[in-house]
Amino acid sequence: MPVAGTPSPSAKPAGKHGKPGAPLRGPLLAAAVTAFIVFASSLVAAWIVRDHLLHVAESTFNARASHVDSDIRRELLLCTQLLRGASGFVVAQAQSSGDGAPSPDAWDRYVSRLDLDDAPPCVRSLGYAEATAIAPSPAAAASGALAHTTLMWPPRGDGLEGNDIGVSDETRAALIRAANSGQVAMSIRPLPHESTLETESTESQTRARVDLLLPVYRSAPPPALVAARRASLMGFTVARLDTEYLFASVAAHEPRMGLHVAGGEPSMLLYPPGIPVGAQYAGRPRFQRTDTLHFGGEALSVTFATSDPALVASAEFSGSAIAAAGFGAALAAGAAVFVFVRKRGMTLAEAGMARSRASQDEARLMAIIRSSGEAIVTTDEQQRIVMFNPAAEQVFRCSAMEAIGAPIDRFIPERFREAHRKYVERFGETGVTERRMGRQQPVLVGLRADGEEFPIEASIAQIHDAQGKLYTVMLRDVTERMRAEDALKASRQELRALSANLQSVREDEKTRIARELHDDLGQQLTALKMDLSAVEQSLGEMPSAPPPVLAQLHGMRRLIDSTVGSVRRIAADLRPVMLDDLGLMPAIDWLLTDFTTRYGIEIERRVEPGGVQFSRNGATTVFRIIQEALTNVARHAEATQVRITLVVEDDHCVVSVADNGRGASGAVRNERPGDKSFGLLGIRERVHILGGSVSIDTAVKKGFTLKVRIPLAAIQQEEALP
């Protein structure tokens, strides 16, 4: 007979011989549903993130393509400048010789001096063609055609059509377009001696020749009316472009991006030579874009394509990473739900085992407390020590046997004991579980067993048990940290002193250089201008004086005037002379006027110093603050209006610079987004030296406001500026 309270030998554990797996079916089903929901959510998130990053990659590709478009346009404009210089040479030769065109020898010498291999390298040859303004027949004149346009250099023509460059329909149309507009015209025509190239998609691409044509007129500037302009036409300067070199040099800036350029009517291949855009990749490019550039009356079709893995690597990695993380989260969530559901059916025996495990956890917790690196001291309601861990023994240099049972006052300096006792009593009355000690003073003072005082940081907690309240203090010795902070503060003060000295030295050096530029170099340039004017006047009175020499002297005088202006501008940027000679207010007026002239940004000013006489150092500081703030506006703000305020409030000089630009997001930064300079950091250092403060108010598309407050005592001295 079985003993009462013991299981019968025939009794079987539940679930052993019942329906197999019945106790696990519910938890497994709940875990599977949870895992599926979490994994499906992660897949959706991965797809959204991947799609967003692919859009970002496409935006990056478009930005890079736009930069290439700008580079192509810049290269073509450089070639245009070369044509304009050659046009000026032709006009000068015509006015000098009177026969209407330079000789082939003179043109040869001029082209040799240009060194076409370097300036710019995309121009293969440079020539000049004489032209008859209006065709001789009335029908041709009515249609706007030109008569023969004879290429007088190079002397053997271009090797294809002879010396008449207007033979082909494309070039003739470009000549008429240039003659009527007075601007550079582009001619794109096929090369008749080269076969077409077949692409992989069976599209034929014709190789082409590209010329730039610029009309040369007898009068400068050319007449406004088309008929008068055609009558004044002398000829055309002609530049043959090396399109392969031009586009290859631009494409080299984006080596991972394919470039395909075509132009003309019908479309002719300009770049790459014989390689269609589709042949640059084994498959379809990941990103592709076609732009149209208009130049010289022609439209260039520029196609960009890339399969650069760096553009999409982050999208692919992020999508895969989120999917993998979602899979792991699904497994973890499923496991958590399985455990939770299983625990709901836990038996009383399992609950007893849980209490046993709780006791083990408590033992582990005590072991952790004993091994903790922080000193832990527990007291009762009478503030007598009941626990003293090994870390506390090291900090206070006292064994736990000596400390336990002793009052906590033993480890507090006598002058702080009464305040500590009242603090613990008030803390016990609040019922707050945990609090950091010493809110009024971040560092407290402890007392070692040998009488040495040392700084500590501490927090206090309270719990209730069967014997009453227990207070636990966790503290750490911060002696070494305090020493390091003191050393850091001293080092920071030394660095600020060094910064102040460097600012002073820099201002003195700027002042010296500005004075030398303004007084020495400016006076020498003025004297040189006077001597040149005297020479020009003397030659002008001579009947035999050659006009080209007089024109060259006049040009030299204009160059000297420009140089004098540059010297004055550089000297003013270093340090305005009026800041030392006239004072701060005239210097600020000059700075604001110069800023508006340079950048076209409207400035609303309110400068009311209220009779304050600024010292030299104070005037320099205020001037540099406004100058640096305006520089930041010009570089980063994209603003159309700036408001400048300089007033006196409560014994402080307040300077405010506010714009209506794009502003900045997040916390206040040392500089606007994307900029790595030290502008605002320099302003903070200048203001800190004078005991002032700097505040910034900004938000995205809400503008940027810089406000500086400087005590008047720091910038208003007895030796004030006038």
Cα-Cα-Cα-Cα torsion 92, 93, 95, 96, nearest 10 degrees, comes to 110
Output the CA angle 43-46-48, nearest 5 degrees.
110
CB contact set of 658 (below 8 Å; sequence gap of 6+): 642, 643, 645, 703, 704, 705, 706
**Cα(468)–Cα(513) distance, integer angstroms:** 80
Same fold, 58-309 and 579-722: no
| Distance in angstroms (rounded) separating the CA atoms of residues 719 and 722 | 9
Tens digits of residue pLDDT in 560-579:
878 877 777 776 666 676 67
Q: What backbone phi and psi angles, to 5 degrees, belong to 387?
A: -145, 140
pTM (2 d.p.): 0.42
* H/E element, 461: strand 453-465
Task: Identify residue 254 by its one-letter amino acid code.
Answer: E
| Residue boundaries of the structural domains of the chain | 58-309, 371-477, 487-575, 579-722
Q: Which residues of the chain have pLDDT under 50?
A: 1-20, 133-145, 147-148, 153, 155-162, 194-204, 277-278, 280-282, 348-349, 666-677, 719-722
Residue 306 near residue 315 (C-beta atoms within 8 A) = no
Q: Which fold has domain 579-722?
A: Heat Shock Protein 90 (3.30.565)
Instruction: Give the per-residue pLDDT at 487.
Output: 79
Question: Is the separation of the CB atoms in 195 and 186 below 8 Å?
Answer: no
Top-tier CATH class for 58-309: alpha beta
* Predicted local confidence at residue 364, as pLDDT: 77
pLDDT, residue 615, reads: 84
Which tens digit of pLDDT belongs to each residue from 237-296? 888 888 888 888 888 888 888 888 888 888 888 888 665 544 544 457 878 889 999 988
Q: Please tell me the predicted confidence (pLDDT) of residue 644.
A: 92
Collect all residues with Cβ–Cβ distance below 8 Å to 547 and sequence separation of at least 6. 95
Q: Which CATH class is domain 371-477?
A: alpha beta
